[in-house]
Amino acid sequence: MTPENLAQLHARCFIAPAPWNAAAFESFLTQDTVFMVEHSAGFLLAQNVLDQAEILTLAVDPECRRQGIAARLIAEFHQSCLKRAVSKVFLEVAADNAAAIALYRVNGYDEVGLRKRYYSHPDGRRIDALVMEKRL
């Protein structure tokens, strides 16, 4: 996927946190520590530093959800992490994103923290972020 494709898909998936534009994706993809797992209908972008990795974003086309794509992306991401000698993975997820939270829990992630009022919604509301972690 090109940065433009990634930005278009991200915009179809997110309101809050705000979707990233093509320039943001291009910037991420030029960093040596950033890597991506792709599917024709989705992607997972992550950053690896030493023995830890962070899921930066996970997006699946809304028309293709509930087909196991996100679970496959996460499984492939975990395999990539093991090849990179990653022992711990973490992420932030909007506290009101029940579907994503359930997906991460099913895949072995536990809540380890809370970032109050972390995300901005376009209507001005502030949304907490859950910090989740998985040990590989």
Note the pLDDT tens digit of each residue in 54-95.
999 999 999 999 999 999 999 999 999 999 999 999 999 999
* pTM greater than the 0.75 cutoff: yes
Q: Give the pLDDT confidence score for residue 90 in this predicted structure.
A: 97
Find out whether 130 and 111 touch, Cβ atoms under 8 Å.
yes
Catalytic site residue from 26, 54, 76, 104: 104
Dihedrals phi, psi of 97, to nearest 5 degrees: -95, 75
Does pLDDT of 16 surpass 80? no
Does pLDDT of 42 surpass 80? yes
Cα distances (Å, whole numbers) of residue 119 to 23, 35, 54, 66, 67: 20, 24, 17, 25, 28
133 is catalytic: no
Q: Give the pLDDT confidence score for residue 121 in this predicted structure.
A: 85
Both structure tokens of 120: 């901005």
CA distance 118 to 69: 27
The domain tally of the chain equals 1
CA distance 100 to 56: 13
Q: What's the pLDDT band for 32 if we cut at 50, 70, 90?
A: very high
Cα distances (Å, whole numbers) of residue 112 to 3, 15, 31: 32, 25, 27
Q: Give the pLDDT confidence score for residue 4 in this predicted structure.
A: 96
Q: Give the pLDDT confidence score for residue 26 in this predicted structure.
A: 96
Both structure tokens of 134: 């998985």
CATH of the domain at 9: 3.40.630.30
Does pLDDT of 51 surpass 90? yes
Residue numbers of the domain that contains 48: 3-135
Does pLDDT of 5 surpass 90? yes
Q: Enter the DSSP assignment of 107.
A: T
Cα distances (Å, whole numbers) of residue 50 to 14, 110, 123: 29, 21, 38
92 is catalytic: yes
Both structure tokens of 30: 């030029």
Catalytic site residue from 26, 76, 92, 109: 92
Average pLDDT, the chain: 95
